[in-house]
Structure 1
Amino acid sequence: MIKAVVFDVDDTLYDQKAPFVAALAPIIQVPTSFDLTRTFQAYRRQSGQLAKQFMSRRTAEEWTVTRLNTALHAQDLPPVTPEAALAFQDAYAQGLQDIKLFPGLATALDQLKDQYQLGIITNGKTDYQLAKVMRLQMHRWIERDTILTSEEAGVAKPDPQIFTMMNRRLNLRASETVYVGDCYSLDIRAAKKAGWQAFWFNHRNFEMPDGDWTPDQTVEDPTELQNLLLALSGVMQL
């Protein structure tokens, strides 16, 4: 029986791609119809990897340039100058000041909070991720002690240990928890390896690797996610 619902943050609770694309628009020339999803995903993926590789011996500015140009290369887009990369980073950070929950999530959370323990597992610096959580007003539904960042855990998704740590905080078995996330490798596969159930919010329409861990549920847009969570709470959305 599920007793807790735990969420990822970035691109699960809010649309992280929109401010990313808006920040890129002034510095790269692509048609308006060009889909930057692969660049966006590469940026998210490379961000954590390059942080570990370079931050010990390079400045933060060099890291910013490297991770953006690595992401642009994923779609054969030309690299940008250091000045442009830093301008992008400033614009992206500013865009993340105005994030809002995906439509329908607040309604679903209102229903879930009376029946389940709620939590968050997110990769990233604690202060930075908590600032997003506050902007999204997640404190209305989730207590601070059930928010776990990779920085405070000392391990990051996809390491299953971070899910085990959350089990201890919730005082629940793995089989009693479900994780909701957008990234198959970081969220779904990792949660399943930890013994959790996993709901894949696949709103970027990615293919699932063959012969790998299967999500317990898959939804492809915010309305489907809202309906899934409402169904979990016993409320049918008409």
Structure 2
Amino acid sequence: MADLIRGVLFDIDDTLFDYSSSERAGLLEHLAAEGLLDGFPSPEEAVGRWRRIMEEEYDRFLVGELTFEEQRLVRVSRFLGRPVPEEEATAWFAGYSALVNAAWAAFPDAAPVLAALAPRYRLGVVTNSTLSHQLAKLTALGLLGHFGTTAIVCSSEYGQAKPHPGIFLEGCARLGLPPAQVAFVGDKYDIDALGARDAGLRAFWLDRSGRGAIPAHESAAGPRAGAAPARESAVGPRVGAAPARESAAGRPARDVSAGEGAAGSRAGDGREREGAAGSRGGDGPAPDGVTVIGSLEELLTALDAVSSRRSAGGTAG
């Protein structure tokens, strides 16, 4: 018999927080102010270059090769294509960050869904970043009150990054729950969903774009499977990721079996995308699978379905 879900852990960037949009807006405004934007064939080329460099250098931070501040300075020099003195690079990045931060916004479904979950579930966060940065972000977004500070696990302080199982298990420990009673919600299929699943949690992959799963080795965004994930919560999501868009509230969840690159089928529609496997939607996720949702409203629907199946039949998928 599957355990009843009693807690939910969340990723932050492009899960609760629309980083893709704020990053793009802040970077382009900064480049225009610096007189650099016209040096790129298109705004998208500029954004793509910035994100590629970010992924590579932030990966070095996650494995301990660079400090949080050092990776920022290295990114400036690489992006500008010349050695940049530390003081100049610090000022350049500060100007960029200020514009990005001014555009910060939570997804419209984040606060209402967290408020709906709070009376019934223990809530927490597992994120690949620094604690100080993420606390400041959640405070600015008005979301910190849903979590407090004790149930927020950040890779910099914990010492391991997603998809390592240890950081997911630490999140469960902060909630005071075993992994089987905890759901994890994140926007990266390999790092968030598969990482959580492999750590024994109930995995929910938030695919706001509806693009389906992309194996890490085929994506310009993600690192190799099992490699340290290259995401800075201060800087952005997968390289080349499409801007997140909200899906219709209440859209049924989809299911994906355990298997990198599986795309899944939409719950109840009787169709499966190419490469999909596992249980059909409506039957609930396979015990070792991933439930795919297109919005946080769908998470509410999926969690209610798990609870209803367990109450009605004594089992839950």
Residue of structure 2 in register with 1:216 after alignment? 290
The alpha-carbon deviation at position 201 of structure 1 amounts to 1.5
The correspondence for 1:106, drawn from 108, 111, 123, is 111
> Is 1:134 matched with 2:146?
no
For residue 92 of structure 1, what is the amino acid of its counterpart?
Answer: Y
Give unpaired runs (5+ residues) of structure 2.
216-257, 263-288, 306-317
Alignment of 1:49-128 (within 5 A): 49-51=59-61, 52-55=64-67, 62-65=73-76, 69=79, 79=81, 82=84, 89-94=93-98, 95-128=100-133
For residue 4 of structure 1, what is the amino acid of its counterpart?
Answer: G
TM-score (norm 2): 0.59
For residue 214 of structure 2, what is the amino acid of its counterpart?
Answer: M
The alpha-carbon deviation at position 65 of structure 1 amounts to 2.5
Q: Deviations over 1:164-210 (max 9, x none)?
A: 11222222111111111112232112111101111111235353339
> Which is worse superposed, 174-183 or 184-193?
184-193
SS class of match (1:108): helix
Distance 1:113 1:59, change over 3 A: closer
The alpha-carbon deviation at position 17 of structure 1 amounts to 1.5
In structure 1, C-alpha distance between the alignment counterparts of 2:150 and 2:15, rounded to whole Å: 20
The alpha-carbon deviation at position 42 of structure 1 amounts to 3.3
Residue correspondences, number? 220
The alpha-carbon deviation at position 211 of structure 1 amounts to 3.6
For residue 292 of structure 2, what is the amino acid of its counterpart?
Answer: T
Q: Deviations over 1:37-75 (max 9, x none)?
A: 75565355324323232449x956642325x63xxxxxx
Residue of structure 2 in register with 1:227 after alignment? 298
The correspondence for 2:19, drawn from 16, 25, 28, is 16
Give unpaired runs (5+ residues) of structure 1.
70-77
User: When you count helix as a share of all residues, which structure comes out higher?
Assistant: 1
The alpha-carbon deviation at position 114 of structure 1 amounts to 0.6
SS class of match (1:102): coil
Q: Larger C-alpha radius of gyration, 1 or 2?
A: 2
C-alpha RMSD of matched pairs (Å): 3.2
For residue 143 of structure 1, what is the amino acid of its counterpart?
Answer: G
SS class of match (2:183): strand
The alpha-carbon deviation at position 30 of structure 1 amounts to 3.7
Give identity over the alignment, percent: 28
